[in-house]
Amino acid sequence: MTLSDDPEKDNFQTSDPATNDPQNRPSTEEELEKDGQTSSPVHTSHSNSSHDSISSNPLSPLEHALTPDLETDAEHLERPALTYTKTGASLATTGSRIPSFEVDFGAEDVDDPKNWPMWYKGLTIGAVSYSTWTVVLYSTSYTTSMPGMMKDFHVSSEPVATLGVTMYLVGLAVGSLILAPLSEIYGRRPVYMGSLCLFSLMILPCALAKSLPEVLIFRFLGALAGSAMIANAPGTVNDIVDEQYRALAFSIWSIGPMNGPVTGPLIGGFAAEYLGWRWTNWLVMIFSGVGWLACSLIKETYAPVLLQRKAAKMREETGDDRWWSRYDQRLSILQILKINLSRPFVLAFTEPILWFWNAYISLIYGILYLCFVAYPLIYTGLRHWSLGIAGLAFTGIGAGTMIAIVTEPIARRVVNSHKKDPETGRVPPEASISVVCLAAFLCPIGQLMFSWTSVPITIHWIWPILAGVPFGAGNALVFIYASNYLAGSYGIYAASALAGNSVFRSFIGGTLPLAGPAMYAKLTPQWAGTLLGLVQVACIPIPFVFYKWGAKIRAKSPLIKQMRADQQRREEKAAAALRRQQRKDEERGEKTVVVSEKADGDIAKEAVRRIVTSEKESSV
């Protein structure tokens, strides 16, 4: 038994240090030692934080929040623990767990995804990044199929046709709450396979549709299925990568999903122009089929499920039911859905911090998706470009997104240059906002530049495309570092805070484009774009206010106050349990090794390893 390196493992503890204290279970363990059934047991007491330090990776709070499990540590601890009672030669499940029979990963355990070869980790990240890209790409490739669909289905209203974008984004938002937590029960690989299979099947009716309502319904259902891919893919990266390479791995993974919206019109435009609008569906179906094949070939990465299987295998092979893992207790699907469908909305409506940041991020996201309506209006409608060539206009936004991704080391230095909090040993969450402050200017600069260079058409076409560079970079930086701020601020509730943000962001991103055609027709492209740019300018104070006074604002949050009080109680309880264990170990002549680490979570982590040593070995 060894100390876990997996940050997700430490978030799924089912026993408290006090529960594992030998004083609480002397009868069972002592009886087993008398029977000679345990030798040199090594027990690891875990707490609920991760190893990563924000000083080395400022995105670690966001990475650890990207999990389908919205339960807090306290809720995991409230799950009933497995218990054992000795009945003759065997143990029945009625008393405390026996530490010496806990199944865990060893330091060089090949079953631990973190010990996989680097090349296989790269293939895994590539598979989930590509598969996520196919789901995101389908959200915007639809816009290039609209002219052909409207002609075939005799639809004259462009806002009505744009509902296909709206239904898809709403489906992603709803599905992330309902389907994403399935990985906690079944693991990531089965969820990927089922998600991509259903996603591919839902594209088929869209490609064969005879009316617009059919397209809208099945796009919504396809998004429901594909949302599980989007919600769980970041967790896979977190499962297999150590702290040293985690920031790099997330940057590589994000290339797929962050560029999905941009490549959608590019690929869809050429497909619609040369093959017909239905091929915008057939191509995505082919892409998702390749993604399904790639994800079906990779191995399971989710540590809790792997350890559950390992414990079950040990019980089957040895015939001994005492083997267990700390992830054996699982909630029912109804219990998980109750948490996932309620907590994100409770936080979103009761936390003032989330009021402002949900509104700001949603607005930025909505204007981004409005571009996928505005660009075709300008490039195909006014500049008379073909559908395929018009898709190339999005390369500016794509280039800006890539600049934001590859400059992550520079942004990391900016974040880490802030003064560390003496209590936590890491920079405060507001450090991430320093990057958002820059992005808050880049977004309106790109928007306003595009507005006044897109028309008249006598202006060279390169200028509105270049306007997409600061716009794309600003959008990417806002999404990444504003989300990181929320994750760092809400700690154990980070997953719920981000889930609520995702719902509101997708809703605004799906509904704002509906107003695009009418707005651009009534105000002209210059003034419609100027209006959007001025709205972004009006929002610039939001990140600056939180950058300067964010710590005081967080201190007044009732939820964060409660979270800090709970943290202090957990630390005091863990310290008391540690002292009791040390006293007990000293009485037994055992050696206690305490490893204290500064974690990037909300509490300091103390791992206790109890190694039984004989008096003879001690004398030597």
User: What is the four-CA torsion angle of 83, 86, 92, 98, rounded to 10 degrees?
Assistant: 40
Residues 424 and 520 in one domain: yes
Same domain, yes or no, for 263 and 145?
yes
Domain count, the chain: 3
Q: What is the pLDDT of residue 65?
A: 52
Question: Is there a single domain that holds both residue 185 and residue 211?
Answer: yes
Residue 610 lies in a domain: no
Does residue 111 sit in the same domain as residue 242?
Answer: yes
Mean pLDDT of 135-150: 95
Does residue 130 fall inside a structural domain? yes
pLDDT at position 86 over 80: no
Residue 542 has pLDDT above 80, yes or no: yes
| Residue 549 and residue 528 in one domain | yes
Tokens standing for 367? Answer: 């204007």
Kindly state whether residue 118 falls inside one of the protein's structural domains. Answer: yes
> What per-residue confidence (pLDDT) applies to 597?
41
Phi, psi of 155 (to 5 degrees): -100, 125
Q: Are residues 254 and 317 in the same domain?
A: yes
According to the model, what pLDDT value does residue 604 have?
37
Least confident range from 6-20, 313-327, 544-558, 585-599: namely 6-20
- Mean pLDDT is highest, among 91-95, 498-502, 531-535, for 531-535
Phi and psi at 506, nearest 5°, equal: -70, -35
Co-location of 351 and 316 in the same domain: no
Looking at the structure, do residues 302 and 431 belong to the same domain, yes or no? no
| 587 pLDDT tier (thresholds 50, 70, 90) | confident
DSSP 601: S
Domain hosting residue 570, numbered range: 556-586
Rounded average pLDDT over 457-466: 94
Integer Cα distance of 518 and 241 in angstroms: 47
Residue 42 inside a domain? The answer is no
Among 554, 576, 604, give the residue marking a domain's end: 554
More confident residue, 342 or 8: 342
Q: Does residue 40 lie in a domain region?
A: no
Alpha-carbon distance of 392 to 267, in angstroms, equals 9
Whether residue 319 is found in the same domain as residue 434: no
Q: Is 191 exposed, middle or buried (0-12, 13-18, 19+ CB in 10 A)?
A: buried
Handedness of CA 19, 21, 26, 31 (dihedral sign): positive
* Mean pLDDT score of the chain: 80
pLDDT grade for 63, boundaries at 50, 70 and 90: low
149 compared with 94, residue with greater pLDDT: 149
pLDDT over 90, % of the chain: 48
- Of the candidates 276, 302, 330, which is a domain's last residue? 330
| Top-confidence residue, 583 or 193 | 193
Tell whether the model's pLDDT for residue 170 goes beyond 90.
yes
CB 197 within 8 A of CB 292: yes
Confidence grade of residue 169 (pLDDT, cut at 50, 70, 90): very high
* Segment among 139-143, 379-383, 440-444, 490-494 with least mean pLDDT: 490-494
Q: Among the listed ranges 294-308, 327-341, 524-538, which one has the minimum average pLDDT value? A: 327-341
Q: Is the pLDDT of residue 57 over 70?
A: no
Interacting residues of 50 by C-beta distance below 8 A, sequence separation 6+: 7, 10, 11, 60, 64, 599, 600, 601, 605
Which residues have C-beta within 8 Å of that of residue 436, sequence separation ≥ 6? 477, 478, 481, 482, 485, 543, 547
For residue 581, the model assigns a pLDDT of 78
User: 520 lies in a domain?
Assistant: yes
Domain assignment of residue 24, yes or no: no
Quick: pLDDT tens for 284-298: 999 999 999 999 999
Tell me which residue has tokens 């190694």. 611
Let me know whether 366 and 452 are in one domain.
Answer: yes
Total residue count of the chain as it appears in this document: 620
The beta-strand segments (E) located in 158-287 are none
CATH number assigned to the domain comprising residue 535: 1.20.1250.20
On whether residue 505 sits in a domain, the answer given is yes
Q: Is residue 52 pLDDT above 80, yes or no?
A: no
| 311 and 376 both lie in a single domain | no
pLDDT of residue 9: 37
Q: Do 564 and 544 lie in a common domain?
A: no
